[in-house]
Amino acid sequence: MGGTIRSKEEAVAWHGRYGPRAPKEGDPAPDFRLRDASGSRAVRLSDFRGRRPVVLAFGSYT
Amino acid sequence: MDLIAAHGNAVELLFIYIREAHPTDGWYMGTHRIRDPLSLEERRSVARKFEESLRGRAGVYVDGMDDAAMKAYAAWPDRLYLVGTDGRIRYAGKRGPSGFKPDELREAIKKETVGRETIERLDVPRATRASPPPGRVTRRQGKARGETRGGRSGRAL
């Protein structure tokens, strides 16, 4: 299941599949390595361990 | 975003641009006329527009075309988390838009950072009050020696 979500039904199905995987309070945060909008700088979530709390704000333009 | 102004120095803020929620070629709701990017470069282009709107106050990072981060956090269409310094989830928001609640996150940040501030306030003064580093002169010692600010003691104080 991937690609653009095209309807409410597809959204419900997506959450049925991935919703249960969402980490809960107390769980280890899944690590990731992402690049910034310019593509030049990478960040790894685990790099902040022992240093600062991290806010993750997921979203899009629409 | 109020969150940046309130807590920008206490926490690291990572905005993660993920698959569009309501693009023109998807579940379109008549808001912004943006199609869901078909390539990573296209995603970065849209993310740069978002980053410009933040005026450099926070970094915007881009999920890969495999949507790995979005899937790992069940983050579509939008979602908030707070990760503690131990790498564990401190706050897990519900999925947006109904579960997107910055006020809840703000409270979680307060709880998380109050402890950190307390530790810093306890540790830093203790270290500086114990004794000045070798070669440094305290203001009181400088006055006793007749030194003035701006001279050698001015830099040392």
Residue type (1 letter), A40:
S
Q: Which two tokens stand for residue B40?
A: 């990573």
A36 in Cβ contact with B61 (< 8 Å): yes
Q: A56 has which bridge partners? A: B14, B81
The per-residue pLDDT for range B44-90, each reduced to its tens digit, is 999 998 888 887 777 899 999 999 999 999 999 999 999 999 999 99
Give me the residue from B16, B41, B67 closest to A57, CB to CB: B16
What does the pLDDT read at residue B25? 85
The arithmetic mean of pLDDT across residues A2-30, rounded, is: 94
A31 in Cβ contact with A46 (< 8 Å): yes
Interface membership of B37 toward A (CB under 8 Å): no
B89 in Cβ contact with B95 (< 8 Å): no
Q: For residue B24, is pLDDT > 70?
A: yes
Q: For residue B151, is pLDDT > 50?
A: no
pTM (whole model) above 0.80: no
The arithmetic mean of pLDDT across residues B25-37, rounded, is: 87
Give the closest residue to B73 by CA, choosing from A3, A41, A55: A55
Chain B nearest-CA distance from A23, in A, is 6
Of the pLDDT bands very low, low, confident and very high (cuts 50, 70, 90), residue B117 is low
- Return d(Cα B75, Cα B67) in angstroms, integer: 10
In chain B, residues with a C-beta closer than 8 Å to the C-beta of A39 are 40-41, 44, 62
- Return d(Cα B73, Cα A38) in angstroms, integer: 23
Q: ipTM value of the model?
A: 0.96
Interface membership of A40 toward B (CB under 8 Å): no
Of the pLDDT bands very low, low, confident and very high (cuts 50, 70, 90), residue B137 is very low
Percent of chain B whose pLDDT exceeds 90: 47
| Interchain CB distance below 8 Å, A34 and B62 | yes
What does the pLDDT read at residue B3? 63
Q: For residue B4, is pLDDT > 80?
A: no
Q: Which range, B3-7, B46-50, B152-156, is most confident?
A: B46-50
- Buried-exposed string A25-46: b where 16+ CB fall within 10 A, e elsewhere: eeeebbebebbbbeeeeebebe
